[in-house]
Structure 1
Amino acid sequence: MDIAHTAAIALVALALDAVIGDPDRLWRRVAHPVAVMGAGVALLDRRLNRLELDEAVRRRRGVAAVFALVLGAGMVGFALSLPLGGLPYGYLLEGVLASMLVAQKSLYLHVRAVRDAFAAGGIGAARHAVSMIVGRDPSKLDEAGVSRAAIESAAENFSDAVVAPVFWLVLFGLPGLFAYKAINTADSMIGHKTERHRAFGWAAARLDDLVNLPASRLSGAIVAIAAALTGRSAGAAFRAMREDAGRHASPNAGWPESAFGGALGLALGGPRIYSGVAVDDPWMNRRGRQDARPEDIGAALRLFRSACAAHAGAVLAVFGVATLMG
Structure 2
Amino acid sequence: MIVLSLAAPSLALLALVAESLFGYPQVLFRAIGHPVTWMGRVIAAGDVFLNRESMGDGKRFAGGCGLVVLLVALSVIAGHALHLFLSSLPFGWVGEVLIASTLIASRSLADHIRDVAHALDKDGIAGGRIAVSRIVGRNPAELDEHGVSRAAIESLAENYSDGIVAPLFWCAVTGLPGLIAYKAINTADSMIGHRNARYEYFGKAAARLDDLANLIPARVCGCLVAVSAQPTRRIGKAFSIMFRDAGQHVSPNAGWPEAAMAGALDVRLGGPRSYGAVQTDGAWLGDGAADLTSLDIRKALLIYKRSLVLLALLLALLAVSTGVTA
CA–CA distance in structure 1, aligned partners of residues 302 and 325 of structure 2: 35
What residue identity is the alignment partner of 1:132?
R
Identity over aligned pairs, percent? 46
- Output the CA distance in 1 between the equivalents of 2:219 and 2:87: 31
Per the alignment, residue 274 of structure 1 pairs with: 275
* Aligned-partner residue type, residue 11 of structure 2: I
Q: 1:65 offset after TM fit, Å?
A: 0.7
Deviations 1:197-244 (A, max 9, x none): 11100000000000000000000111112115x645111110011110
Contact 2:6 2:93 in 1 (8 A): no
Distance 2:254 2:114 in 1: 21
TM-score relative to the length of structure 1: 0.96
Contact 1:137 1:273 in 2 (8 A): yes
1:36-185 pair list within 5 angstroms: 36-185=38-187
CA deviation map 1:38-74 (0-9, x unaligned): 0000000001101111101110111011100111111
Residue of structure 2 aligned with 1:206, choices 208, 211, 217: 208
Q: Post-superposition shift, 1:4?
A: 6.7
| Equivalent-residue separation in structure 2 for 1:325 and 1:13 (angstroms) | 15
Per the alignment, in what secondary structure is the counterpart of residue 273 of structure 1? strand
Tell me whether 1:318 sits opposite 2:318 in the alignment.
Answer: yes
Letter matched to residue 12 of structure 1 = L
Alignment partner for residue 28 of structure 1, among 30, 46, 51? 30
Instruction: In structure 1, list runs of 5 or more residues that go unmatched.
Output: none
Which residue pairs with 1:188 in the alignment? 190
The 4+ residue runs of structure 1 with deviation greater than 6 A are: none
* 1:299 correspondence with 2:299: yes
1:258–1:284 contact (8 Å) kept in structure 2: yes
Q: CA separation of 1:49/1:149 partners in 2, compared to 1, >3 Å: closer, same or farther?
A: same
User: Which of residues 4, 11, 24 is equivalent to 1:9?
Assistant: 11
**1:126-156 alpha-carbon deviations (Å, 9 max, x no partner):** 0000000000000000111000000001000
Contact map agreement 1:168 1:180 (CA 8 A) in 2: yes
| Equivalent in the alignment of 1:18 | 20
Tell me the distance in 2 between the aligned counterparts of 1:195 and 1:273.
18
Once residues 114 and 81 of structure 1 are traced to their aligned partners in structure 2, the CA distance between those partners, rounded to angstroms, is: 38
Distance 1:324 1:118, change over 3 A: closer
Inter-partner Cα distance in structure 2 for 1:325 and 1:96: 17
2:311 aligned partner, one-letter code: H
Checking the alignment, whether the CA contact within 8 Å between 1:4 and 1:320 is kept in structure 2 is: no
When residues 67 and 325 of structure 1 are mapped into structure 2, their CA distance, relative to the original with a 3 A threshold, is: closer
**Structure 1 residue 278: Cα displacement:** 1.4
Equivalent of 1:226 in 222, 225, 228: 228
Would you say the 8 A contact 1:4–1:318 is kept in 2? no
The residue identity in structure 2 corresponding to 1:322 is T
Inter-CA distance 25–82: structure 2 relative to 1 (3 Å threshold): same
- Counterpart for residue 197 of structure 1: 199
Deviation at 1:89, TM superposition (A): 3.5
Distance 2:10 2:86 in 1: 13
Change (3 A) 1:233 1:198: same
Q: In structure 1, the residue corresponding to 2:33 is in which secondary structure?
A: coil
Aligned equivalents of 1:301, 1:271: Cα separation in 2: 24
Question: How far is the alpha carbon of 1:181 from its aligned partner?
Answer: 0.3
- Whole-Å Cα distance in 2 between the matches of residues 15 and 154 of structure 1? 19
What SS does the aligned partner of 1:28 have?
Answer: helix
Q: Is the 8 A contact 1:9 1:92 kept in 2?
A: no
Q: Deviation of residue 88 (structure 1)?
A: 4.9
Structure-2 separation of matches of 1:324 and 1:101: 21
Q: Distance in 2 between matches of 1:280 and 1:231?
A: 32
